[in-house]
Amino acid sequence: MTAAPPIPAPAAGSPRSEATARPGPLVSITVAVLVAATCIPLGYVVWGTVSVGWTRAYELVVRPRVGELLFNTVALVIVTVPLCVLIGVGLAWLTERTDLPGRGFWRPLFVAPLAVPAFVNSYAWVGVVPSIHGLWAGVLITTLSYFPFMYLPVAATLRRLDPAVEESARALGSGSIGVFFRVVFPQLRLAILGGGLLVGLHLLSEFGAFAMIRFDTFTVAIFQQFQATFDGAAGSMLAGVLVILCLVLLTVEAVARGKVRFARIGSGAPRAATPNHLGHSTIPALLAVTVVAVLSLGVPIWTLLRWLWIGGADVWDFAALGNSLGQTIGLAGTAAIVTTVLAFPVAWVAVRSSGLLARTVEGANYVTSALPGIVTALALVTVAIHFVRPLYQSVPLIVGAYVLLFMPRALVNVRAGLAQVPLSLEEASRSLGASPSETFVRVTLRLTAPAAAAGACMVFVAVATELTATLLLAPTGTRTLSMMFWSWSSELDYAAAAPYAMVLVLLAIPVTVLLFRQSMKVAAL
């Protein structure tokens, strides 16, 4: 798992655009098929439960093993999410609102951990502390991997806040601590909830990082169950509990978010904020940011380089590495293109219409993409085995899984791009004699292209660094970078795994840069 974009609030269409939404048959059918497909994972869980029967289901769910997994998973979420909030918000405040030396240097450093997949981070820590295992190891590693999900949206929001509001609070008698907690923090609520949800969902779906340190969560257990019994009832029952946990997270976030929207009241461009003076706290603050940077970036980089040094020239099997890179690019490239192309009709419906269809699409997509990859993968395996045998372990099936898992990354970008093409431009084009399809190509597509390309890049890297669904669904003989990394590190040949990890990180760097730039740009608007 790498960089997922911060969840933005759905774009509100202008009242006039709502009135004109009439999706054509091609769009409607594509969207309907996609919605149907997004129902597969949830349908699998429900169907699994029903076919097992209530008594057996009860037996499978209420047992000590499930209790242990539940404790592990819930404890992991309850400890890690607040830690990420603390670190993410703290760093964002330091880099955006204080006179911390070298702020421009620190900002990209706190987004950079997104380029290191959590399982690679886990591998790095095992390299440093071989005895590391269990809950606290899980908390340490995932906190260091996922705090950027909090840092990115919070920093972007902080940059966007109107300093005049804070100045008014100062004028009304609040000190700088008071201003932060009474004025700034409440305005960060949406960013924190969004980031928190993202961290929580990643924790529920992470497999590689926890398997590496022998920490059993639901996802890890489901994977092991699948390897042992293939299509077992026990596995689908565990998946059911995991889905419920996931829905609980979504509900908690939705309830906590409520209907509040914080808009800046008044007009005029906000001025840049005057940074808070750190004074005597400068040294401790510098120490804190250095510790975070060393732990989250220093450790994986140092371990990777160390293994590469130890392995020397022997670990660089360029034929195998090249083959693996080629397969990864082929698979991730296909998935990226298919996902982005499919994102267009969905985004169009979301931006341009306000009917039942649009809301169904948003809802279905939201829930399915929040489901752990393992559930989606298991569902597709089951459906393929029972109904379309030839699809099992085929490229179309695994690409389908990637589409379901990573659609939001493409969608968020395409939708934002589409929302920035005012309807009036398309109408101007029509009035100038261009047909609807010509208008789409010459105006809409052209203006959406940069956003769509960004979305495709994000899907590409997400697929390249995906492990769980890939292990379950990849056709026999597939050797992607993450699969090769996994197979070498499972055999405890850490040196041989290092080149694959290195290439994975290198692949993810451009997209991480892209994410960082996007967050800066949002602030500039």
Give residues in contact with other proteins (CB under 8 A). 19-20, 422, 424-425, 427-436, 439, 442-443, 446-447
**Whole-angstrom Cα distance, residue 123 to residue 106?**
25
Beta-ladder partners of 276: 98
Name the minimum Å distance from CB 426 to other proteins: 9
- What is the C-alpha R_g of the chain? 24
The smaller minimum CB distance to other proteins, of residues 125 and 344, is found at: 344
CB 425 → other proteins: shortest distance, Å? Answer: 5
**Min dist. Cβ of residue 412 to other proteins (A):** 21
Provide, rounded to whole angstroms, the least separation between the CB of residue 21 and other proteins. 12
Instruction: Return the C-alpha torsion angle 63, 66, 72, 74, nearest 10.
Output: -110
Nearest-CA neighbor of 352 among 92, 16, 2, 74? 16
Pick 182 or 442: Cβ nearer other proteins: 442
76 three-class SS: helix
Minimum CB distance to other proteins, residue 16 (Å): 8
Give the 3-state secondary structure of residue 152.
helix
Q: Among residues 431 and 476, whose Cβ is nearest to other proteins?
A: 431
Q: Of the two residues 286 and 453, which places its CB atom closer to other proteins in the complex?
A: 453
- Amino acid identity of 303? T
Please answer whether residues 246 and 201 qualify as being in contact, where contact means their C-beta atoms are separated by less than 8 angstroms: yes
Q: CA-to-CA distance for 345 and 435, rounded, in angstroms?
A: 18
Contact 71, 379 (CB under 8 A): no
Burial class (CB in 10 A: 0-12, 13-18, 19+), 335: buried
Cβ nearer to other proteins, comparing 247 with 425: 425
Between 354 and 393, name the residue whose CB sits nearer to other proteins. Answer: 354
* Closest CB to other proteins among residues 424, 490: 424
What residue type is assigned to position 445 of the chain? L
CB of 514 to other proteins, least distance (A): 20
Shortest CA distance to 409 belongs to which of 325, 502, 327, 346?
346
Smallest gap from Cβ 429 to other proteins, in A, equals 7
Question: Considering the complex, what minimum distance in angstroms separates the CB of residue 444 from other proteins?
Answer: 11
Of residues 323 and 435, the one with the C-beta less far from other proteins: 435
Contacts of 174 (CB under 8 A, 6+ apart): 182, 183
Backbone angles phi, psi at 98, to 5 degrees: -130, 175
